[in-house]
């Protein structure tokens, strides 16, 4: 494990690929690897790209990565694919969609399975971002599966969230009210050469103007989910400055608007540093990650204890026979764990 970490930190792409494979498969030792890498992170800009299916996310990410490379920056891309109900792996696999960057070793592309988590993100994705950051990638792009309002999960991974909307999609624009609208730091109307693009831009502008009266804009200014609310740090940014999400029009397959989009991403990055919002976001993100890991590990402990009591089916049989009830079952399963914690904390 030590050699693998050393090789990754030395810039060996083979080691990076192996580490991410271990992370995605949750192979033995992956937690120790991520822990070792954590101290080497914090330098990459993480961009989340989300939006409805068909908006052209993959094409835009491809062109954006190519533009970053032209500027001398290294790029890591994590593309979240739907999970196979059978294997749990990415349905589309390592799909070839980074045509502009084929053969460029400084663009690392990885397709990962959504693993059934809301918004197409998982703990493995967060860990993969850690690996890419420690490796030294200047920019990390996380492209989501585009599953609707649950894409708010991307907030926990990205510094800047870009929401793509296809033109002439009135229903999709209205859907943004359900949740995605609150997390976007920049909105992109891709395929802007198609009919309906101007109307879509106008609809977005009207909705964003209505949102501006509700408080700070962008996912660093408003709490998007109840869980984020638990993780939110008290206090506000160091200044009263707010971010008004811009709308960018692109035609990604012709690389039109890509430079303007990257310029907006840079502006937002500067805003985060200038106002102190980046640090607050990081605190919120780590708090959410800690809570997630606690839940996952606690669930495993409880599942093991339940199995020692005969398993869920045995418990259900007893409840069905009215020999016990769900509350009593839970109390009995958790009793040894509570006793251990009480003994540990006893004076």
| pTM listed for this prediction | 0.84
Q: Is 49 helix (H, G, I), strand (E, B) or coil?
A: strand
Distance between CA 126 and CA 130 in Å, rounded?
A: 6
For the record, the structure tokens of 228 come out as 């984020």
Pairing of strands 75-81, 107-113: parallel
**Cβ–Cβ < 8 Å for 135, 165:** no
pLDDT at residue 37 is higher than 70: yes
Helix 2-9 to helix 123-135 angle (10° resolution) is 60
Nearest-angstrom CA–CA distance, 204 and 210 = 10
* Per-residue pLDDT tens over the stretch 161-216: 999 988 875 555 666 655 677 788 999 999 899 888 898 898 888 888 876 655 45
Binning the chain into helix, strand and coil, the percentages to the nearest 5 are 55, 10, 35
What residue spans of 112-240 are helical by DSSP H?
Answer: 123-135, 170-175, 197-211, 226-231
Give the whole-angstrom CA distance, residue 176 versus residue 46: 22
Q: Which CATH class is domain 41-275?
A: alpha beta
pLDDT in tens, 86-129: 444 444 444 445 556 666 789 999 988 766 554 446 788 899 99
- Close Cβ partners of 313 (under 8 Å, ≥ 6 residues apart): none
Nearest Cα to Cα of residue 280 among 229, 335, 238:
238
């Amino acid at each position: 494990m030590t050699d693998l970490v050393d090789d990754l930190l030395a810039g060996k792409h083979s080691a990076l690929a192996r580490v991410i494979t271990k992370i995605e498969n949750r192979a033995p030792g992956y937690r120790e690897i991520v822990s070792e890498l954590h101290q080497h992170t914090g330098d990459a800009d993480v961009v989340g790209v989300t939006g409805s299916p068909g908006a052209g996310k993959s094409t835009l990410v491809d062109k954006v990565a190519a533009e970053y490379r032209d500027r001398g920056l290294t790029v890591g891309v994590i593309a979240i694919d739907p999970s196979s109900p059978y294997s749990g792996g990415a349905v589309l696999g390592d799909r070839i969609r980074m045509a502009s960057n084929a053969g460029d070793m400084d663009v690392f592309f990885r397709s990962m399975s959504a693993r059934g988590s809301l918004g197409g993100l998982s703990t493995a994705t967060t860990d993969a971002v850690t690996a890419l950051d420690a490796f030294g990638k200047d920019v990390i792009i996380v492209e989501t599966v585009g599953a609707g309002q649950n894409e708010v999960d991307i907030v926990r991974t990205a510094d800047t969230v870009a929401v793509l909307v296809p033109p002439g999609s009135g229903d999709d624009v209205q859907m943004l009210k359900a949740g995605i609208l609150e997390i976007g730091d920049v909105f992109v109307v891709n395929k802007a050469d198609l009919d309906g693009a101007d109307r879509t831009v106008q609809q977005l502008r009207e909705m964003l103007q209505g949102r501006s009266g509700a408080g700070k804009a962008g996912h660093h200014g408003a709490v998007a989910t109840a869980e984020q609310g638990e993780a939110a740090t008290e206090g506000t940014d160091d200044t009263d400055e707010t971010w008004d999400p811009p709308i960018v029009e692109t035609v990604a397959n012709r690389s039109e608007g890509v430079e303007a989009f990257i310029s907006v991403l840079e502006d937002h990055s500067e805003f985060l540093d200038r106002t102190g919002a980046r640090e607050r976001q990081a605190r919120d993100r780590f708090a959410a990650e800690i809570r997630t890991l606690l839940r996952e590990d606690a669930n495993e402990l409880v599942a093991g204890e339940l199995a020692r009591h005969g398993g869920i089916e045995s418990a259900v049989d007893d409840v069905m026979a009215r020999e016990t009830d769900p509350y009593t079952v839970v109390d009995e399963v958790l009793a040894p764990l509570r006793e251990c914690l009480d003994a540990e904390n006893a004076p």
